[in-house]
């Protein structure tokens, strides 16, 4: 959904905010049970989401290469030192680098 909105030029901060609030709540709940780093704050959420959304234009439609970056981000948020096996990297969709 984020890719479609971004491609259509319809992605606005108001629309993006709809994603930030639920993600912030998930992070807060995860902190309560020790799943996420205790030093994360609400202001981190938009930037974390935007980091992931920023990778989307570099993939072909239907490509699941974004999962690698979600895994990296989740490991970073964990802070336990235990790292997940990464999904395979895929080639960057070069023609979108100029957009």
pLDDT tens-digit readout, 54-81: 887 888 888 888 888 888 888 888 867 6
Parse the chain into domains and list their residue ranges.
2-98
Contact 77, 43 (CB under 8 A): no
pLDDT of residue 43: 87
pLDDT higher than 50, residue 96:
no
Q: HSE-up of 17 (CA within 13 Å, CB side)?
A: 3
Whether 1 shows a pLDDT value over 70: the answer reads no
Report pLDDT for 12. Answer: 65
| Contact between residue 35 and residue 53 where contact means Cβ atoms under 8 Å apart | no
């Amino acid at each position: 959904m984020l890719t479609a909105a971004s491609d259509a030029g319809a992605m606005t901060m108001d629309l993006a905010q709809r994603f930030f609030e639920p993600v912030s709540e998930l992070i807060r709940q995860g902190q309560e049970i020790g799943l996420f780093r205790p030093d994360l704050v609400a202001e981190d959420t938009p930037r974390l989401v935007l980091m992931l959304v920023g990778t989307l234009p570099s993939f072909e439609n239907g490509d699941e290469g974004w999962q690698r970056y979600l895994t990296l981000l989740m490991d970073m948020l964990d802070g336990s030192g235990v790292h997940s096996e990464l999904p395979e990297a895929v080639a960057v969709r070069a023609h979108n680098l100029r957009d």
